Chains A and B, each alone.
Chain A
Amino acid sequence: MIPKKFDYYAPASLNEAIQLLSENGEAKVLAGGQSLLTLMKMRLASPNVLVDISKIPNLSYIREEGDHLAIGALTTHDTIEHSPAIKEKFTILNEAVSKIGDQQIRNQGTIGGSACHADPAADPPTALRVVDAKFVAQGKKGERVVPAQDFFVDIFATAVDHDEVLTEIRLPYLPPKSGSAYVKHSLREHDPAIVNVGTVLTVGDGNVCKDLRIGFGAAGPTPLRATSAEQHLRGKTFDDKTIAEAAEKATEGADPPSDVHSSREYRLEMIKVLTRRSLKIALSRVK
């Protein structure tokens, strides 16, 4: 219940934070702590230094920029859930964060923390992967932008270097006539996902699939894209048949585990079911 000993710093600036991280090879960044502290209390992770970035100003915001919506890494899930802009333009993210844990966890947990923790069973990583988010990291060498496909490297591992801090997540706006949805399947509402699926689609004339992105989590070391299913539907008309066919293909590349909650077979089947359901919901949201 009590973590191992560590030193704690609460830098007032990003540069200070980066400096501390580069000086301490085993240091970890602390933001909301809802994921990291659980691991530390169970002694599954024991960094000897924690760099608390929550006191650094100007890292919590939701801004509508030219071609994207920018979210500060320290923005809490609760703030995101209640953002009208995100609800309207990125319903998939609104739904994903609304299903995290519970009110207390959403009040304290941050989008940057969730992204960097990179738990494939968590909700935001799938959504962020599907919307092709861009992740802005600041380090000693300055700022760099990592696209979603390169960001999630492995289970609990991202492209953010040890001495970098994730500062912002950029969500490229969806084209007109788009819809998105996030569907989570878990034993209880607030449990980590047994499987989760997010879809973003754009509809062309005649109800034709102009673009489609399907992603799922908890079925591999990172959120994965169902590229085979996406390819199947692109250019075709959206209807029950094509959606069902795409859902059947959604599991290609998926490698879900069997664990105390569910078997692998069940998870594979649920990817198909949730793909179908999230496609239909996303379609219904196209304006």
Chain B
Amino acid sequence: MRINGREYSGMAEPRTLLVNFIRDDLNLTGTHIGCDTGQCGACTIMMNGRTVKSCMVLAVQAQGADILTVEGLAEGDKLHPIQKAFRQNHGLQCGYCTPGLLMSSLFLLQRNPNPTEDEIRRGIEGNLCRCTGYVNVVMSIKAAAKSMQENVGKGA
């Protein structure tokens, strides 16, 4: 498989969950586990260009997949506009649900560069947060949308 742009190959027991493979075998601990039944979304990653809950995918199902985790968002020291927007708009508190939220936001904005507030809330309904009450998360995503569109306009 390909993770954050790098090729990787390894072994896993069939029952190993992708999230545990990412965290334990690949040592990418930015993706988190918050529940047992696929509700909380803290484990959200991008697999083949679409967000999935990595606790609801077996590692073996990701054979040949192209995976993006939160660690792959920034380019070296250069933060992704979505990361910047969350930081500037106090879109996180304890940070535990944040990586999953960043991935869902990325997917949303890639598909819908100018979402309405309702579309934003719908886009992140699979990411539970107990700290922020979502108010600043929505604001962060709106800001990210704006900044990403400005970059596009500038041909960046």
Q: Decide if A and B touch, CB cutoff 8 A.
A: yes
Q: Give the B-binding residues of A (Cβ under 8 A).
A: 1-8, 10, 30, 33-34, 37-38, 41-42, 50, 52, 54, 78, 101-105, 107-108, 189-190
With A37-B58, A38-B56, A103-B104 known to touch, is A6 a contact of B15 (CB < 8 Å)? yes
Can you pick out 12 interface pairs between chain A and chain B where the beta carbons lie within 8 Å of each other? A5-B13, A6-B15, A37-B57, A41-B17, A41-B36, A101-B126, A102-B41, A102-B125, A103-B125, A103-B126, A107-B51, A108-B53
Q: Given the complex, which residues of B lie within 8 Å of A3, measured CB to CB?
A: 15
Are A105 and B53 in contact, with the CB atoms below 8 A? yes
Are A108 and B56 in contact, with the CB atoms below 8 A? yes
Q: Given the complex, which residues of A lie within 8 Å of B96, measured CB to CB?
A: none
With beta carbons under 8 angstroms apart, the residue of A7, A42, A189 that contacts B125 is: A189
Is B52 an interface residue, CB under 8 A from the partner?
A: yes
Q: Given the complex, which residues of A lie within 8 Å of B30, measured CB to CB?
A: none
With beta carbons under 8 angstroms apart, the residue of B38, B61, B107 that contacts A38 is: B38
Q: Given the complex, which residues of B lie within 8 Å of A4, measured CB to CB?
A: 15
Are B61 and A52 in contact, with the CB atoms below 8 A? yes
Are B61 and A104 in contact, with the CB atoms below 8 A? no
* Minimal beta-carbon separation of A275 from chain B (angstroms): 26
With A42-B36, A189-B125 known to touch, is A107 a contact of B50 (CB < 8 Å)? yes
> Which chain B residue shows the least CB distance to A109?
B56
Is B37 an interface residue, CB under 8 A from the partner?
A: yes
Q: Given the complex, which residues of A lie within 8 Å of B17, measured CB to CB?
A: 1-2, 41
How far, in angstroms, from A6 to B13 measured CA to CA in the complex?
9
Within 8 A of A (CB), among B19-59: 20, 33, 36-38, 41, 44, 50-53, 55-58
Q: Given the complex, which residues of A lie within 8 Å of B107, measured CB to CB?
A: 103
Are A190 and B56 in contact, with the CB atoms below 8 A? no
* Minimal beta-carbon separation of A95 from chain B (angstroms): 14
Is B139 an interface residue, CB under 8 A from the partner?
A: no
* Minimal beta-carbon separation of A163 from chain B (angstroms): 21
Are A54 and B41 in contact, with the CB atoms below 8 A? no
With A4-B15, A33-B61 known to touch, is A104 a contact of B41 (CB < 8 Å)? yes
Q: Give the A-binding residues of B (Cβ under 8 A).
A: 13-15, 17, 20, 33, 36-38, 41, 44, 50-53, 55-58, 60-61, 63, 104, 107-108, 122-123, 125-127
How far, in angstroms, from A102 to B123 measured CA to CA in the complex?
8
Are B58 and A33 in contact, with the CB atoms below 8 A? yes
How far, in angstroms, from A108 to B108 measured CA to CA in the complex?
15
With beta carbons under 8 angstroms apart, the residue of A7, A10, A34, A78 that contacts B56 is: A34
With beta carbons under 8 angstroms apart, the residue of B14, B41, B123, B127 that contacts A50 is: B14
Besides A102-B41, A105-B38, A105-B53, 10 new A-B residue pairs in contact (Cβ under 8 A), listed by A number? A1-B36, A5-B14, A33-B56, A33-B58, A41-B17, A101-B126, A103-B125, A104-B44, A104-B126, A107-B52
* Minimal beta-carbon separation of B27 from chain A (angstroms): 19
> Which chain A residue shows the least CB distance to B17?
A2
* Minimal beta-carbon separation of B17 from chain A (angstroms): 7
Are A54 and B37 in contact, with the CB atoms below 8 A? no
Are A105 and B15 in contact, with the CB atoms below 8 A? no
Are A33 and B51 in contact, with the CB atoms below 8 A? no
Q: Given the complex, which residues of B lie within 8 Å of A102, measured CB to CB?
A: 41, 125-127
> Which chain B residue shows the least CB distance to A188?
B125
Are B63 and A10 in contact, with the CB atoms below 8 A? yes
Give the residue among A2, A37, A78 with the most B Cβ atoms within 10 A.
A37
With A38-B56, A108-B56, A189-B125 known to touch, is A54 a contact of B38 (CB < 8 Å)? no
Are A104 and B60 in contact, with the CB atoms below 8 A? no
Are B58 and A8 in contact, with the CB atoms below 8 A? yes
With beta carbons under 8 angstroms apart, the residue of B15, B20, B33 that contacts A5 is: B15
> Which chain B residue shows the least CB distance to A36?
B56
> Which chain B residue shows the least CB distance to A49?
B14
Are A103 and B123 in contact, with the CB atoms below 8 A? yes
How far, in angstroms, from A111 to B27 measured CA to CA in the complex?
34
> Which chain A residue shows the least CB distance to B12?
A8
> Which chain A residue shows the least CB distance to B61?
A52
* Minimal beta-carbon separation of B135 from chain A (angstroms): 18
Q: Given the complex, which residues of A lie within 8 Å of B57, measured CB to CB?
A: 33, 37, 108
* Minimal beta-carbon separation of A189 from chain B (angstroms): 6
